[in-house]
Amino acid sequence: METTSKKRIKITFNAPVVLIFVGICLVATLLNYITNGKSNITLFMTYHSSLANPLTYVRFVTHIFGHANWTHFMGNMSFILLLGPLLEEKYGARELIEAIIFTGAVTGIFNYIFFPNIALCGASGVVFAFILLSSFTSFKQGEIPLTFIIVAVIYIGQEIYKGVALEDNISNLSHVLGGVVGSTVGYYTNKKS
């Protein structure tokens, strides 16, 4: 008598930080549509509001969850879902959460100070942090990966060019700052270990 063993395929919750982040962004984007943009203005967009308003400080970070539309959301989440699980496995949940929050705070505060007339929302800074951070996954002490240099030149160079030559209503500074945060986190995290 032959017995065949059927292996069941199961879905795993492989990258909790990434999946929760994407879930929060999805809820924020849905709320933006349901409230006709009011939720983004209230919670998921940073802009030059009064420093006496406690939500100003909250929005320095929470702007990373809001997205202007579904195209914006899908573009950012594609990169987050592609790169995030690899990064979460390599660096761990805590390091990834810190990188996400730090990226949000740095881009939010810089936007508030240097671009008072521009509102900022979306996870583009986090995407660029992830892109640059991922190029450090094969880091060895005393070495800088060539992939990091190429990625930095391509992505950051492209954003600097867009910021100087084009006016496309995208905050190129948040992309560059996200890349700087990702590079810094990748370098120092790998140097410690």
Query: Which stretch of DSSP H or E encloses residue 174?
Result: helix 172-192
Q: What is the pTM of this model?
A: 0.82
Q: How far apart are CA 162 and CA 80, in angstroms?
A: 22
Q: Write the single-letter amino acid at 102.
A: F
Report residue 120: phi and psi, to 5°. -130, 125
Which token pair is 55?
A: 């939500």
Which residue is listed with tokens 């492209």?
A: 158
Report the pLDDT value the prediction gives residue 52, as an integer from 0 to 100.
96
pLDDT tens per residue, range 65-88: 999 999 999 999 999 999 999 999
